[in-house]
Amino acid sequence: MNEVTPTPELEAFDYKSDVNPVWCPGCGDYAVLSAITKALAELRLARENVAVISGIGCSSRIPAYTSVYGFHGIHGRALPIAQGLKLARPDVTVLCAGGDGDGFSIGGNHFMHACRRNIDLTYIVMDNTVYGMTKGQASPTTEADWRESKLTPEGPGVPPFQPLDIALAAGASHVVRAFSGRVQMLTKYIVEAIQHPGFSFIQVISPCVTYRPEMRALKTRVHDGFAETSTNRLEARRRLLDDDGYSLGVLFKSVEPSYKPCATSDEAVADLERQFVL
């Protein structure tokens, strides 16, 4: 998180734009938008010093619904855009947001390497276990036997991607699971993630009421399984062995080295040219 001039007059509502979401009524993403704007208000960040970067998908529409700088990029590439921005402009608070397909399937490689690089940004994945924008196909987090998609009539048939385990294995330094039905808690997690000096990953279980209507029932299944935070990566991974996928909380947090570019100096281009002179 960066030191910025406090702007006490901004409320959460001031961080919302006047663009109406394309989301379905009942979609969990409304609550995530609400939590993000509340977190920004909590941190009193000036709108011009925050950027929300996304890829493609229902949840990736989120930047335009905020009043800060935004980038609605291309499918799967939100994290490279966000990392490029943060490296070039370390003074900007960078949030990256999107869905499970965007982040774990087409963008899976970038996810792992963003965890490794540990650049100071916050990555919020709204995980609804389905591709909503293309009409309900299985996503990487969909159960192997889910048979509701014409594309995979017998179910995707492969075990679901394990976002937290992979984030831990790849080196993420702040790993959280949250639920869109608990906005206050999510707000707190986002604030902590922004304040964390490194790569923060928040998997937000965010129901798709259109293609996964059974997800409405999740509010009774989620529980505070990660109420205690590990600072030991191995222990955090062990805790995932008996995780039912609905434990909420900050699973792991540790301040670890971040990718640093070469040390710079302020020479002139003419100084560089000397190397070519015979």
Nearer to another protein, 157 or 213 (CB): 213
Nearer to another protein, 224 or 235 (CB): 224
Beta strands in 64-148 (DSSP E): 69-72, 93-99, 121-127, 130-131, 137-138
Write down the least CB distance from residue 188 to another protein, Å.
Answer: 4
Nearer to another protein, 30 or 240 (CB): 30
Nearer to another protein, 16 or 237 (CB): 16
Cα–Cα distance between 174 and 260 in angstroms, integer?
18
Nearest partner of 248 among 181, 200, 169, 193, judged by Cα: 181
Instruction: Report yes or no: 150 and 123 within 8 Å, Cβ to Cβ.
Output: no
Interior angle at CA 262, CA 259 and CA 264, nearest 5: 130
Nearer to another protein, 144 or 246 (CB): 246
Write down the least CB distance from residue 71 to another protein, Å.
Answer: 5
Burial of 27 (0-12, 13-18, 19+ CB in 10 A): buried
Pull the structure tokens for residue 186. Answer: 């999510």
Inter-CA distances, 13 with 18, 60, 74, 127, 146, Å: 10, 20, 27, 24, 38
Write down the least CB distance from residue 39 to another protein, Å.
Answer: 7
Nearer to another protein, 136 or 155 (CB): 136
Within 13 Å, how many C-alpha atoms sit on residue 186's CB side? Answer: 26
Give the SS3 label for residue 187.
helix
Write down the least CB distance from residue 154 to another protein, Å.
Answer: 22
Write down the least CB distance from residue 238 to another protein, Å.
Answer: 28
Write down the least CB distance from residue 245 to another protein, Å.
Answer: 18
Nearest partner of 54 among 76, 32, 35, 38, judged by Cα: 76
Length of the chain: 278
Nearer to another protein, 5 or 234 (CB): 5
Write down the least CB distance from residue 121 to another protein, Å.
Answer: 10
